[in-house]
């Protein structure tokens, strides 16, 4: 078969697994939050770099220099839809180890850390 495959399966990580990985303090993890700055101001997780999808044009050309395309990369949003879009885009850019955080920060607040505000 020739040609590019579209709609490649995106690997997901549960919020419980995310919490374990974050608490292990793995230095090689790349953490990206694609929510809007006003959403991040309400609720956020430490260590995530905010790259709002709405500002894609501002940061898209820096992605290869700011991040290692082969390092494990977790992508977060509110419920997991925007982060899935970002994961697909990163895969298209040649990233090889991208994981969508299933349920987003909403699920993290519900299932892991109720001190994180919901909105």
Catalytic residues: 77
Phi, psi torsion values for 68, nearest 5 degrees = -90, 120
Backbone CA torsion sign across 37, 38, 39, 44: positive
Farthest-apart Cα atoms in the chain, separation: 50
Q: Residue 18: which H helix or E strand, with range? A: helix 15-23
**Token digits for 89?**
């885009």
**99 touches 67 (CB < 8 A):** no
The residue behind tokens 């929510």 is: 35
């Amino acid at each position: 078969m020739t040609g590019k495959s579209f709609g490649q399966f995106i690997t997901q990580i549960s919020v419980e697994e995310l919490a374990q990985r974050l608490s292990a303090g793995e230095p090689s993890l790349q953490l990206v939050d694609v929510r809007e700055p006003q959403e991040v101001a309400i609720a956020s997780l430490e260590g995530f770099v905010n790259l709002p999808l709405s500002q894609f044009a501002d940061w898209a050309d820096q992605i290869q220099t700011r991040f290692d395309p082969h390092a494990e990369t977790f992508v977060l949003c509110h419920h997991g839809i925007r982060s899935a879009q970002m994961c697909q885009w990163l895969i298209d850019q040649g990233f090889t180890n991208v994981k969508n955080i299933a349920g987003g920060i909403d699920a993290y607040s519900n299932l892991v850390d109720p001190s994180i505000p919901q909105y």
